[in-house]
Structure 1
Amino acid sequence: MNHTTGVPVNSSASTKERILTAAESLFAQRGFEGASLRQLTAAAGVNLAAVNYHFGSKDHLVEQVFKRRLDQLNARRLAALKHITGQSETTLEDVLSAFIRPALDLSHDGGGGLFMRVLARAFAEHDDSLRKFLSENYGHVMRQFTAEFARLLPDLSKEELYWRIDLVTGALTHAMSGFGIIQRKSDVSETIHREQTAEHLIRFAAAGLRTP
């Protein structure tokens, strides 16, 4: 822990990883504009030259904070989707599970909860360059899921389907943030609570997607 900034620092991690971890924490606390490079270098225990060497610019650093988490998340999503795509026995719940469960797993992994706050910042601050980066790098993931949803919901127009998927994604982001009114009870394990969250969200999303 860096006692000056309150950011956890793992001294055994590589310089690049320390910078990314410190940046994720600062972005969650102070936003992309509010977190300065001076604060970042102090939190990570590095100099500005190290930040420039590994990332070149603050914008690229922001992108790499997202890439570190989202590459892993979307690889898991696509692997789960690959097993069920196009099969006659595949249900809407199966596709939602492939979309939702890896995201909930990420939100409870080490540092995942902090990343959810960074993600919320991205939506709140309306950063157009970041939105473009996310669309260009991860838009193909949503297109693959949307194609499978469309196959299973042939009566929905493309526009209606996009509206519903957007709302499902919003509900998932809310569930991942842990800010909802349903909090884990002290006698319920983290694993069981996460499974309960997944089951409720999948049922809720399936009902919304199926509505005529």
Structure 2
Amino acid sequence: MNTASSTRDRILGAAEQLFAQRGFDGASLRQLTTAAGVNLAAVNYHFGSKEKLVEEVFRRRLDALNADRLAALARLGSDHPATLEEVLAAYIRPALELSHEGNGALFMRVLARAFAEHDDTLRQFLSENYGHVMRQFTAEFARLLPHLGKPELYWRIDLVTGALTHAMSGFGMIQRKGGVSEQAHREQTVQHLIRFAAAGLSHP
């Protein structure tokens, strides 16, 4: 890894940590430069502004997540029409894998901050860059659930996404038991969430 990319990654890692702890407004550039061990010129060189830095913190995680989701969706239906459970797995499993990898859980707290702080600029960024992924999944859900009108479908998808975000945060009542591996616990979570979401989405 060259020095420039190392500095950039160090800034992103420090920013993710600070944003999770203090929120976007609460984390100052002075705190960020201290945590990353860089000067302000380095932040400006790599990102240009705090707003762009926030966007890159999300892009670093969400580009890979949504590429994995779309790849999983594309693999479905090659030999048979995709089922509701299969589409849900393509949506849910990559997200839960992200939340358990590296500092994935930390990023979940950053994501929660984005929703809690009602940052319209950030929401617009997320919509413009990742809205197409949600539209593809929504189209699949609409095909599989023709009995639902658009408003009802959107309500149900929104609630499923909320349940997924909760599961990704790791703050729920169901914690990994001793003797159960991280991978096994994650798969249990995936399967429970798929069954729960399928039941909610397909209900008359």
Task: Report if TM-score (shorter chain) is over 0.5.
Answer: yes
Letter in 1 for 2:136: Q
Which of 171, 174, 191 is the matching residue for 1:199?
191
Distance 1:211 1:98 in 2: 20
Distance 1:24 1:95 in 2: 30
Equivalent position of 2:131 in the other structure: 139
Distance 1:35 1:53 in 2: 19
Distance 1:134 1:37 in 2: 22
Which 5+ residue runs of structure 2 have no aligned equivalent?
none
SS at structure 2 position matched to 1:14: helix
Q: Report the TM-score, using the length of structure 2 for normalisation.
A: 0.96
RCO greater where, 1 or 2, for CA within 8 Å and sep 6 or more?
2
Letter in 2 for 1:81: L
Equivalent position of 2:58 in the other structure: 66
Identity %, equivalent residues = 78
Using the TM superposition, give the Cα deviation of residue 187 of structure 1 relative to its aligned residue in structure 2, in angstroms.
1.3
Equivalent position of 2:90 in the other structure: 98
Q: Does the Cα contact within 8 Å between 1:86 and 1:148 map onto a contact in 2? A: no
Equivalent position of 1:79 in the other structure: 71
Using the TM superposition, give the Cα deviation of residue 88 of structure 1 relative to its aligned residue in structure 2, in angstroms.
4.5
Equivalent position of 1:189 in the other structure: 181
Distance 1:80 1:207 in 2: 21
Aligned pair count reads 202
- Name the CA shift for 1:157/1:87 in 2 (closer, same or farther; >3 Å): farther
| Residue 45 of structure 2 is aligned to residue 41 of structure 1 | no
Which of 16, 28, 35 is the matching residue for 1:24?
16
Using the TM superposition, give the Cα deviation of residue 206 of structure 1 relative to its aligned residue in structure 2, in angstroms.
0.1
Which 5+ residue runs of structure 1 have no aligned equivalent?
1-10
- Name the CA shift for 1:86/1:133 in 2 (closer, same or farther; >3 Å): farther
